[in-house]
Structure 1
Amino acid sequence: MTTSALPDDSDPIARVQRELLTVGRRGTARVRREDEALSVVDRSLLTYIQDNPGCRAVDIATHFQLNRSTVSRQLGALLDHGYVSADEEPAGGPRGIALRLTDAGSAAFHQSTRTVLDSVARRLEGWSQGDLEAFARMLERYNAAPDE
C-alpha cells in the first residue's frame, strides 16, 4: 500500500482499519443507546486502573499514548463522580498520586463490563471455540505490537 493513493477494498490493511473503526464507533453508539453511565473512554481508564491499582496518570498516558493533560482531564471527571480516588504518597515519594477504583467505581465498572460482555457475546453467537480463540489471539497480537 502506498501513501499517495487510497487503498481499495482488496487491501487487507485497509479492511482491518475500516473494521476496527466500525468496532469503535459501534461501541460508542451502544453506550449512548443503552444510556450507559460509563463512556468508552471511562471504561478504558477504569480498566487500566482496575488492572494496575496504584498507577499514576502518567502511567495511563504512556499506556494509551495520550497527552498527560488529556488523561488528567478525563480522570477529573471520574474523580468528580467518585469512581476513582487519588491517594497522595508520602512527601517526596517516587510515585506521586496513586489511583484506585472506589467502591462506586468498582460497581460501575463491573456493571458496565457485564453490559459490554453481553453485547459482545451476542455478536459472537455461533462462532466456534476455535474461532473465538483465534480472534482473541489475533487481537492480543495486534494490541501488543509497538506503535512507531
Structure 2
Amino acid sequence: MVEPARQVEFETMLLNRHSYFDGPRKFDEHKKLDRSAYIVLTRIEIDGPLSIGELSAALGLDTSTVNRQTATMLRGGLLERIPDPDGGLARKFTMTAEGVQRLDYARSVTVDTLGRIMEEWTGEEVEAFARSLERFNRGIERLEGRPWPRPAD
C-alpha cells in the first residue's frame, strides 16, 4: 500500500501539470489566459487594486517576477495602473474591462470542464471534495504564513 502523503504528492503532481481543465470545450486562443495571469487577476478581483509590493507579498514571488508578469498583462490590455485609491504613493494595478472579460471566460471554461469531469459524482461527493481541497490549501497557507482570501470571506 502506498503511503498516503506519497499518494497525495503524486496526485497533486498530476493535477498541477494541467494549466486548465479545458478538456472537451477548448479555449478560444484569443481569450486564453496563462496560469500567472489567471492567478493575478483573481487576486485583484478579490482584493481590489494592488501594488507590485502587495502582489509580491500575496503571491510569494520576488518583485522582478511580478514586474515581468504585470508588464505582460499591461501590454495585453488585462491590467492598467491607477493612482492608489487610498492616497498612497505607489501606483496600483486594477483589471481592465478586457481583463474582467477574459478572467470570466477562462473561469467559465474551467468550471464547465470540471463539471464534465465530475458529472458522475453526487452533489455530496463534489461538496466533500471542495471542502477537502479548501482544507488542504488552508494548511499550505498556514505553513507559508500567507492566507489566500476566498470570495466568501
Cα separation, 2, equivalents of 1:11 and 1:63: 32
Query: Would you say 1:56 and 2:48 are equivalent positions?
Result: no
**Deviation, structure 1 residue 63:** 2.2
Write out per-residue CA displacement over residues 29-55 of structure 1, whole angstroms, 9 at most, x where no aligned residue: 849x74352111211111111111112
Residue of structure 2 equivalent to 1:10: 2
Write the mapping of 1:82-97 to structure 2, written as runs, cut at 5 A: 82-89=77-84, 93-94=87-88, 96-97=90-91
Give the one of 2, 17, 20 matched to 1:25: 17
Contact 2:21–2:114 (CA<8 Å) still a contact in 1? Answer: no
Write out per-residue CA displacement over residues 60-108 of structure 1, whole angstroms, 9 at most, x where no aligned residue: 2222211121111111100111111111238xx4461222110111111
Residue of structure 2 equivalent to 1:40: 35
Q: SS of the residue aligned with 2:18?
A: helix
Residue of structure 2 equivalent to 1:131: 125
Cα separation, 2, equivalents of 1:64 and 1:21: 20
Q: SS of the residue aligned with 1:126?
A: coil
Give the one of 121, 143, 148 matched to 1:147: 143
Q: What amino acid is aligned across from residue 117 of structure 1 in structure 2?
A: V
Contact 1:46–1:101 (CA<8 Å) still a contact in 2? Answer: yes
Residue of structure 1 equivalent to 2:150: none
Residue of structure 2 equivalent to 1:3: none
Query: Which structure has the larger Rg?
Result: 1
Contact 1:56–1:95 (CA<8 Å) still a contact in 2? Answer: no
Percent identity, aligned pairs only, is: 25
Give the one of 70, 74, 81 matched to 1:75: 70
5+ long unaligned stretches in structure 2: 145-153
Q: CA 1:17–1:117 in 2, change beyond 3 Å: closer, same or farther?
A: same
Aligned residues: 137
**Deviation, structure 1 residue 125:** 1.0
**Deviation, structure 1 residue 27:** 2.5
Runs in 1 of length 4+ with deviation above 3 angstroms? 28-31, 33-36
What is the TM-score of this pair, normalised by structure 2?
0.79
Contact 1:54–1:98 (CA<8 Å) still a contact in 2? Answer: yes
